[in-house]
Structure 1
Amino acid sequence: MTLPFSDIAPLDKSVPGVQPIEALILPRLPVLYAKRAARLRMLAEHNGAYLEFLASLVEAQKFWLEQHPITPEQAMPVTALMGAGGLAPVKPTQQLLATTPYWHAAFKHFVHTLAPLVSEPVASKLEAAVHDTPEQLATKAAALFNQDYAAVDAGVAVLLWAALSVYWAQAVALVGVQKHTAQAHNEASCPCCGAPPVGGLVLTGDREGLRYLQCSLCETRWHAVRATCVVCHATQHIDYWTFEKTDAPIQIETCGDCHSYLKIFRQDRDPQQDALADDLVSQTLDEALEAQGFARAGINPFSFPS
């Protein structure tokens, strides 16, 4: 099976004239998962077994998506949190997380599928989490939403977030962009779910040169003007860093005003890049910028901060 060039649907060529820049782009989730898994396996050839494990996790997400698509009723707890008319989305409460069994079931499926692929100590922690009560799972999930990453075992956190992500991404997609107008209320967080970005994508194809931020939870991409800090919106002291030549496919954008940084994935230079996958193999860039006092404006849910 030949996959589409991109998980982003092409523009409607039947519409005459220059089309406006889309505030939001929702991915074709089955294509996104398939391409991400393939990218992880390709990168794993030179970057170790963890990326192979993550490829299997993404394939498990795709399987769950296709075998257990959510219903509008199941999506309601998430869609009720989404901001309307430019209002910021609301963070889920611990009670909501405890009473939404869809993602609990997805997490347990991921553990049963992936525990045989990891070491015995890691597998033991994963299997112990399977026996958590809904309230205990919700406590862990709430810690991740509150960016208290140290409160959750690293291996458990990755699978928990993957389960939350496959739930949130479907719920947001059911609402659709027509019913949710994204305003630039806070470019440092997703206008659909409030999660931080993984990084920025400079797109190719129909949208060549436009920058969108990639959500770490619901997979939404939201437009962000280039050469503008996504944290403080300053434009005067923006710099770009790379270890390679100036046209490298991965760059880091830094802000000299608030000392934040964002990793930029130039799909116009390498269309096969995936923000989550390629971030993992370019973390020496992060280390170099953090050593200079810059703080990352985002997370990678495959590698939560310690």
Structure 2
Amino acid sequence: MTPSSPIRVMSPEEIAVNAGARVAPVKVPEPGLFAERALRLRQLADGHAMRDYLLFVAELAQRQHELLKQPRALKLPDEVLINGAMVGGLPPVEAQGHPRDAVWREELRALLTAMSAAAIPEAAKALVARLAQADEVWLEQQAGALLAGGGPGLDPAAAPLIAAALQVHWTRLVTGLQERYERSDQGENVAPFGMIDDPTVCPCCGSRPVASITRVAAEQSGQRFLACSLCGAQWHYVRIKCTHCQGTKGISFQTLVDDEGRKSEAVAAECCETCGHYLKQVHMEKDLQVEPLADDLATLTLDLLVGELGLVRQGFNPMLILGEAEASHDDAPPGRAGTGAAPPGGR
């Protein structure tokens, strides 16, 4: 009897990578996406330096949830376009390429009406009233700048409200396509979503992630998903891998430390020395209530600290745009560093 070969034990990361092939690579947004975000923001606001603004965004998220429950007619892309996107390795409702239906402005008007009756600061009420009078050309220009991930001409104060309407609209598009596929007889329709050629952007709408989340549920335990800043979809992405250059060398993590020297383990910034970019990670194993956009928004201090190291933010959070980053790389995306208007709910 010959001696058995030595058994090689896989590292936790290798286990996660291999498990990733067995879980659904794309998670379409859940119906309670905005309600969970609102709940988390209210939780994070307690005693926070940005309390007023977090509560403002929480109110906005709650109104998004209520609006999403109301039916609205949408023109969905046909199967030929979906099939073409799949063959080309592209997202089927790409934020900058998909024709923007004017119905998104109906979502905005409904949100503005709801927010005008909400208990929000006077400065926010004034902004809501100003946006209600804005012309369509300006609104479309603002929408285009936001869908491009920020850029020249974007009004930082108005951005959260406009982005909220766009988020509802694109969430409807993604969930509508998924529902159409699930209703089809014997699955004859083309499956709408799958991994695309560029794993660093949303496979549904092509937007940048706001952050990544490490999940704990069943077969997804230990799996890392990137969370879309626009439609709310999540897609699998290997851990300890840069979400900008896709490299695995020179990866480190930065966290906030309180006055007593304790690290904030629920949120960390994954930093890449190779390309000089970073993206935040939120960990459900440390806090089951984490929500990517909410926890990203509540850890602005971490952005400022990592920015002092010369790193450029890879994620995009349309709920807080303070200006364009002074990027050290020609292809660096707009970030949150720099000077800009104060958010409508206060800072």
Larger RCO (CA under 8 A, 6+ residues apart): 2
Structure 1 alignment gaps of length 5 or more:
1-17
SS in 2 for 1:75: coil
Match 2:199 to one of 168, 173, 187:
187
The whole-number CA distance in structure 1 between the counterparts of 2:95 and 2:284 is 31
TM-superposed CA distance for 1:202, in Å, is 0.3
Contact 1:86 1:181 (8 Å CA) reproduced? no
How many positions carry a matched residue from both structures?
A: 282
Q: 1:53 aligns with which of 51, 56, 60?
A: 56
Residue 271, structure 1, aligned to residue 288, structure 2: yes
Shift of 1:299: 1.1
Structure 2 CA distance for partners of 1:242 and 1:106, relative to 1, 3 Å: same
Give the 3-state SS of the residue equivalent to 2:227 in structure 1. Answer: strand
How many Å separate the matches in 2 of 1:302 and 1:33? 13
Mapping of residues 6-85 of structure 1, within 5 Å: 20-29=22-31, 31-47=32-48, 48-67=51-70, 69-71=71-73, 73-76=74-77, 83-85=85-87
The Cα shift of 1:254 comes to 0.6
- Judge conservation of contact 1:187–1:231 (CA < 8 Å) in 2: no
Q: 1:247 to 1:54 in 2, by over 3 A?
A: closer
Amino acid at match of 2:63: A
Hey, what does 1:201 align to over in structure 2?
213
Where 2:47 maps in the other structure, the secondary structure is helix
Between the aligned partners of 2:176 and 2:247, the Cα distance in structure 1 is: 34
Residue 199 of structure 2 aligns to a residue whose secondary structure is coil
More helix by percentage:
1
1:202-241 alignment, distance < 5 Å: 202-206=214-218, 207-241=220-254
* CA deviation map 1:270-299 (0-9, x unaligned): 110111111122121111111111111111
Scaled by the length of structure 2, the TM-score of the pair is: 0.74
Q: CA deviation at 1:108?
A: 1.2
TM-score (norm 1): 0.83
CA distance in 1, matches of 2:128, 2:151: 16
Q: Check conservation: 1:188, 1:297, Cα contact below 8 A.
A: no
Question: What is the percentage of aligned positions where both structures have the same residue?
Answer: 28
Q: Find the aligned partners of 2:263 and 2:226 in 1 and give their Cα distance.
A: 21
| Structure exhibiting the larger radius of gyration computed from Cα positions | 2
The alpha carbon displacement at 1:114 in A equals 1.8
Following superposition of structure 1 onto structure 2, how do residues 116-195 of structure 1 map, counting pairs within 5 Å? 117-149=119-151, 151-176=153-178, 178-183=191-196, 185-195=197-207
Alignment partners' CA distance in 1, 2:88 and 2:252: 29
Q: Measure the CA separation in 2 of the matches of 1:50 and 1:186.
A: 34
CA distance in 2 between counterparts of 1:157 and 1:143 reads: 9
Match of 1:108 in 2: 109
Cα pair 2:37 2:61 within 8 Å, conserved: yes
Q: Distance in 2 between matches of 1:133 and 1:273?
A: 37
Q: 1:255 aligns with which of 239, 261, 272?
A: 272
112-121 or 142-151: which moved more?
A: 112-121
CA contact (8 A) 1:299 1:305 kept: no
Which runs of 4 or more aligned residues in structure 1 lie more than 6 Å from their structure 2 counterparts after TM superposition?
none
Check conservation: 1:76, 1:171, Cα contact below 8 A. no
SS of the aligned residue for 1:128 comes to helix
| 1:155 counterpart SS class | coil
Note the aligned Cα RMSD (angstroms).
Answer: 2.6
Q: Is the 8 A contact 1:149 1:305 kept in 2?
A: no
Shift of the 239–112 alpha-carbon distance from structure 1 to 2, 3 Å rule, reads same
Q: Alignment partner for residue 282 of structure 1, among 299, 311, 319?
A: 299
Structure 2: runs of 5+ lacking an equivalent: 1-19, 182-190, 324-347
